Amino acid sequence: MQTATVIVLKKRKNIQNNDLPGIKNIAQATGFPKVSLAPYPALKLLLPAIAGIVAGVYFPAGLSWWLWGCAAAGIALLAGLVFEKAKRTGSVPLPFNVFSFLCFICLSFAASACYRYAYVPQNGLLAYADRQVILTGRIAMRPEMSSKGVGMLMETGEVFCAGKTANVRDRCRVFVRNLTGSSPEFRYGDMVRVKGTLDTLAAAANRGEYSPRQAGRLEQVSVQLFAAGPWLVQNAGPPKLDLLDRYVVLPVYGYIVQSMRRLMPEGNERRLSAGVLTGEKEFLPEEIFEEFKITGTAHILAVSGLNVGLLALLVHVALQRLKATSAGRWISLLLVLFLLLVYSRVTGNSSSVVRASIMAAVFATGQAAGRKTYPLNSLALSDFLILASNPLDLLGPGFQMTNGAVISILLFNAFSNRHSSGNGGVLKQTVRFFRESFVVTLAAIIGVSPVIAYYFGTFSLVSIVANIPVVLFSTLLMYALLPMLMVNLVSAGAASFFAESAILFAKLTLASAGFFSAFPLASVSVKPDLADLMIYYATLVAALYLISGKAWGKLAVTLLLGTNLIFWHEFFRFPSDPPSLVTVNLGRNIATLCTAGGRTVQIDAGSARREEKRILRQCGEYGLFPPDAAVQFFSADSVVSAVPSRCHMLKADSLLVLPSMVVSRPGEKILRISSRERSVLFVSGTSRLKENVSCTGDIVFLWVYRFDAKQRERFDAWLEYAHPKRCVLVTGSFLSRSALDELLRFVDSRSGLEIRSKTRQVVIP
């Protein structure tokens, strides 16, 4: 048995090895960091809440089951507390009470999530789908302007349909088309009356793409209304606003808008400034949006944690002297909370701003209380409060991206502080500043990039480098805009100096995004699934833990294991036999991918070059090779020629021969693809159908623009001659309602016929 010698140090200076030869300085142990949930009580609440939300949404149980379970857990907890109060004197709670409390939290969140996700109002708008109605209600969020029209969320109180008026309580998405170029004056809180066609929210157009229906379920919205123009919208009374909105928020918002219009000239710089400060980014050109998306810097266009953090920092610096006393700290906290509330309302109460404001409020409250706070615990408390107000926020990409970035920054920051040195001189401080800025940027990208790839299918290879100048210049832009607004209250001339600085920083931000977006392969298409994300984040956490303990061998094994798991999962993820034909829905347009012998031919590419990314993403979704050839049928030659393929068959070309397929044009607006397995025919209009071999196919896509007795007779005769195995009818935009009804009856009477759906792909094995 070994014995330990204990040396009692009577003087503090002996710790520094004064006059003790042969004895080294006492150093901190460098083993694995201890992991304990004791300093994180909010995290203990958050974990069962998350489990309850996931169970309430995905577990097939009705609301009554969750409510009964919640009641049982509450009764058990109450009984345990009564027993503990009467029979025990210790300070440690009974394990039964702890278990009952966690079950109560879990089941409460499960019931709330199940109710919000799976149930709609009994007197809601879903019963009026596919009808023309007049809705009366309040604009619940700030309208989103675009070049095509205005979108808004409406809290409906009354519906008029078929000569009858009914009271309802439901939310509805409204889109008012506006092609005149002038923006109609719709504001948050306005009471409006809108006439249009009510419809259910659409599902995802293609596999793995954004689903308006799923997003609507997370917001408790199930229907949408389309109005053909602003003339179908009328004022329905005075705006419904609370006192804060009426006397503080709207005047502040109006002052910000008027100040920017007065001090900054029209252009992309002012539009970017409005997006950074208030979230008004709708009028930015599409190419500017694309540059920020490609470089992975689009987050600066959404008012979120960065903006709220900068605002909180400025307020913290301005009120530093007030925090010298205990009363001053609480007064400062109240001012911070009030400013965060006003800023959230000014920016439209978007989810990202509300999340960031709650997080900032929690951190500020902990600081004002003078208690030691742990950032991870404060983050968990913020998440718990957010989910308590809306449990379905957990399933939204914004919540997940915010937490992915913040948690990654906290972990990397803890590791960086653990291995950082002393203060040093000015040069070392400067180097440390840029190093920490790079580490924060890198940590945020590492934490949020997998979530972006999961939801949007892209990964920016230049984001690590591009975020540094873009975030720097956008931060300086924010720092120039805030004093501009403050000084403009006193002197517009002095405020113009800050306005010129803001214009300069906006130009540098736009130039940086444009410069990095021009790099080849700046953004690649990547679409991981949920298993990939779980493997990635588990590997990341394990790697940081092993780095802290300097276990380099175990670190290498962990990284290799995680890489192999992702590789083999991707290898077995796609089917061994990909489909031979897949359609890609592009709004009114449609693209088709045909494969044979390991070759892929793409027919059409939509109406714009940017839609090729969606098509290539569908190749990845179905395990198809990228197109070897692009063929024109409806798309413009300029769009088809931009497809990254070896061969292009444009409008003037009549024949394309590939090793496994032959593409020909038997006639005008007729295209035929022949292979050993099958033939595919594309025909525009029933008038072009001919009874010859070149106008037949196993799979037929027929565009129908009219359908009267003459077209029906011609189509019927052609079907008797060609006998296609499957015929997909694509209805034209100007097909009348009566003709569409007649076409539907004709399809129901024949086998092998179907109407093309904008939310369902045609997949042929």
The residue ranges of the chain whose pLDDT is under 70 are 1-39, 88-92, 179-184, 281-283, 302-306, 351-352, 415-426, 433, 574-576
Phi and psi dihedrals of 414, rounded to 5? -65, -40
Nearest alpha carbon to residue 475 among 497, 508, 446: 508
CA atoms within 13 A on the CB side of 68: 5
Place of tokens 């978007």: 350
- List the structure tokens of 534: 């779980």
State the DSSP code for 577: S
Q: Please state the domain extents for the chain.
A: 41-118, 126-240, 396-460, 530-573, 581-764
Query: Could you give the CA distance from residue 81 to residue 117 in angstroms, rounded to a whole number?
Result: 33
Nearest alpha carbon to residue 141 among 150, 129, 132: 150
Query: Could you give the CA distance from residue 515 to residue 386 in angstroms, rounded to a whole number?
Result: 38
Query: Could you give the CA distance from residue 616 to residue 612 in angstroms, rounded to a whole number?
Result: 6
Handedness of CA 316, 318, 320, 325 (dihedral sign): negative
CATH topology assigned to domain 126-240: OB fold (Dihydrolipoamide Acetyltransferase, E2P) (2.40.50)
Phi and psi dihedrals of 524, rounded to 5? -120, 155
For residue 358, how far is the Cα from the chain centroid? 19
Cβ atoms of 697 and 721 closer than 8 Å = no
Look at residue 3 and give its three-state secondary structure. coil
How high is the pLDDT of residue 541?
Answer: 84
Phi and psi dihedrals of 211, rounded to 5? -115, 110
pLDDT digits (tens, 9 = 90+) for 331-360: 888 888 888 888 888 887 776 677 778 878
Query: Could you give the CA distance from residue 737 to residue 23 in angstroms, rounded to a whole number?
Result: 94
Query: Could you give the CA distance from residue 678 to residue 725 in angstroms, rounded to a whole number?
Result: 10
Query: Could you give the CA distance from residue 168 to residue 157 in angstroms, rounded to a whole number?
Result: 5
Residue 4 neighbours by CB distance under 10 Å: 4
Query: Could you give the CA distance from residue 683 to residue 728 in angstroms, rounded to a whole number?
Result: 11
State the DSSP code for 646: S
On whether the 581-764 domain is CATH 3.90.1150.10, my answer is: no
Buried b (16+ CB within 10 A) or exposed e, 523-533: bebbbbeeebb
**Long-range CB pairs of 690-696, under 8 A, 24+ apart, other chains included:** 690/718, 691/717, 691/718, 691/721, 691/722, 692/666, 694/664, 694/666, 694/667, 694/670, 695/666, 695/667, 695/670, 695/722, 696/721, 696/722, 696/724
State the DSSP code for 687: G
AA letter at 345: R
Region of residue 181 (left: phi > 0; alpha: psi -120 to 50; beta: else): left
Cα-based distances in Å from 723 to 594, 667, 695, 719, 751:
21, 20, 11, 5, 11
How high is the pLDDT of residue 38?
Answer: 60
Query: Could you give the CA distance from residue 236 to residue 412 in angstroms, rounded to a whole number?
Result: 53
- List the structure tokens of 209: 């793409």
Query: Could you give the CA distance from residue 763 to residue 765 in angstroms, rounded to a whole number?
Result: 7
Burial-class residue 419 by CB neighbours within 10 Å (0-12, 13-18, 19+).
exposed
How high is the pLDDT of residue 179?
Answer: 64
Cα-based distances in Å from 617 to 170, 457, 528, 653, 685:
36, 7, 12, 27, 30
Phi and psi dihedrals of 551, rounded to 5? -95, 80
